[in-house]
């Protein structure tokens, strides 16, 4: 089949959760079908585009520019037309025009909208089959963000999740195929779609051939977190860990440090080392391997979220011992005490981290079990077989 794949971010390099998901999706589809990629880009990404041309029949890009003024104007438009702000914010007329032009001659069999934001463009495509690939049940994710957010933005999230309930339900009802990454997300989407929509559950996947186990140093005892630090749930989780959990750990293990790795940390995160020198905030790093080799435990202290956390899937594939919350591992088939340790209070979370730092045998057992789970369940060659029901070979 000839498939037009629409992505909100260029899916290479796979250095963030959404890009990991879409990169492996593209590899799976391009091995079986002729894929044309249409994507927004940020800045000069010509080298990345050239890499993607090796997988795709063609690659088309358009610049995506954001900023406080643009976002503010999008909020005004959202208030006027009662559309979700997160959807209005990413609406670009030049993308609509490009999709219409590419599909005008009827040369494509399907359009695949990667993430809900791109569904508005798939609606403009003249194709027989429209597919929306949801990374999250977005209405539920934003509801959880609203519940944990303080300040003026809380009102924006509260309004948006209610609008997303209606919008996401309409998209699910009108598209020919819908995918969700977990049973929990599938249930949330069916709730807003009226329950009569068939949804294909297809977990986010990693490439266990590319993501290899990390050989951690014998003395590895640092705590590490890797995640995009401009995403509000990640920020809230890190601040919770740094302020309420890390002091409990440091009181019993003062030699242990905490590394926060991820692009564009806000001032609240960047300032953490000023009050606690054992915390190191690196920002984005090209190669996190040296940090991973010194990691005694990976923490994913999420208090809000949806879908699946790619950072946990990567850590499982890398054989890293993990401590996370119930929300952090939601949608992933891990067992507490077998693949990860799960804790939801500061005291329990701190004790779980201390336990792994003190018990290398337990940490290694979790690492081995986690790697096996990644290979057997979350490798993209296995997880994306569900796509064959949507796009027959």
Residues 113 and 246 in one domain: no
Indicate whether 215 belongs to any domain. no
Please give the tally of structural domains in the chain. Answer: 2
Please check whether residue 42 lies inside any domain of the structure: yes
Same-domain check for residues 97 and 234: no
Same domain, residue pair 22 and 77: yes
Write out the chain's pLDDT in tens, 393 residues.
999 999 999 999 998 889 999 999 999 999 999 999 999 999 999 999 999 999 999 999 999 988 888 888 988 999 888 999 999 999 999 999 999 999 998 899 999 999 999 999 999 999 999 999 999 899 998 898 888 887 788 888 899 999 999 999 999 999 999 999 999 999 999 999 987 799 999 999 999 999 999 999 999 999 999 998 988 889 999 999 999 999 999 999 999 999 999 999 999 999 999 999 999 999 999 899 999 999 999 999 998 876 788 999 999 999 999 999 999 998 899 999 999 999 999 999 999 999 999 999 999 999 999 999 999 999 999 999 999 999 998
CATH number (domain holding residue 328): 3.40.50.2000
Does residue 246 belong to any structural domain of this protein?
A: yes
Let me know if residue 217 belongs to a domain.
no
Give whole-number Cα distances, 105 to 4, 7, 126, 289, 379, in Å.
Answer: 13, 21, 8, 47, 37
- Tell me, yes or no, whether 14 and 84 share the same domain: yes
> Is 249 found in the same domain as 125?
no
Tell me, yes or no, whether 83 and 185 share the same domain.
yes
What domain range is 322 assigned to? 222-377
Question: Does 238 share its domain with 194?
Answer: no
The confidence score (pLDDT) of residue 347 equals 98
Same domain for 273 and 197, yes or no, is: no
214 domain-assigned: no
Domain membership of residue 213 (yes or no) is: no
Please report whether residue 211 resides in a domain.
no
Is 94 contained in some domain?
yes
Same domain, yes or no, for 153 and 236? no
């Amino acid at each position: 089949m000839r498939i037009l794949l629409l992505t909100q971010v260029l899916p290479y390099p796979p250095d963030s959760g959404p890009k990991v998901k879409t990169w492996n999706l593209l590899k799976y589809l391009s091995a079986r079908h002729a894929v044309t990629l249409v994507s927004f880009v940020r800045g000069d990404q010509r080298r990345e585009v050239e890499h993607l041309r090796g997988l795709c029949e063609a690659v088309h890009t358009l610049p995506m520019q954001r900023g406080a003024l643009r976002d503010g104007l999008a909020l005004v438009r959202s208030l006027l037309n009662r559309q979700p702000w997160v959807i209005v914010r990413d609406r670009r007329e030049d993308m609509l025009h490009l999709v219409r032009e590419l599909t005008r001659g009827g040369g494509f069999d399907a359009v695949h909208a990667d993430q809900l934001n791109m569904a508005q463009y798939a609606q403009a495509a003249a194709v027989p089959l429209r597919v929306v690939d949801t990374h999250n049940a977005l209405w539920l994710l934003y509801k959880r963000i609203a519940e944990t957010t303080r300040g003026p933005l809380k009102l924006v999230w509260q309004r948006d999740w209610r609008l997303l309930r209606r919008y996401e339900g309409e998209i699910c009802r009108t598209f020919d195929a819908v995918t969700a990454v977990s049973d929990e997300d599938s249930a949330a989407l069916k709730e807003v779609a009226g329950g009569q929509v068939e949804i294909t559950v297809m977990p986010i996947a990693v490439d266990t051939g590319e993501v290899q186990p990390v050989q951690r140093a014998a003395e590895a005892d640092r705590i590490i977190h890797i995640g995009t630090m401009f995403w509000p749930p990640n920020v809230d989780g890190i601040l919770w860990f740094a302020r309420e959990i890390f002091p409990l750990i440091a009181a019993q293990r003062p030699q242990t440090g905490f590394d926060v790795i991820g692009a564009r940390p806000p001032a609240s995160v960047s300032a953490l080392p000023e009050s606690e020198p054992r915390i190191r905030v690196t920002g984005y790093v090209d190669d996190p391997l040296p940090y991973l080799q010194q990691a005694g435990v990976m923490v994913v202290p999420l208090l809000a979220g949806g879908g699946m956390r790619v950072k946990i899937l990567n850590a499982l594939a890398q054989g890293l011992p993990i401590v996370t919350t119930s929300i952090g591992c939601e949608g992933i088939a891990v067992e507490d005490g077998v693949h990860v340790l799960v804790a939801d209070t500061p005291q329990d979370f701190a004790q779980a981290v201390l336990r792994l730092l003190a018990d290398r045998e337990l940490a290694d057992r979790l690492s081995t079990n986690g790697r096996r789970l990644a290979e057997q369940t979350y490798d993209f060659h296995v997880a994306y077989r569900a796509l064959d029901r949507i796009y027959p070979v």
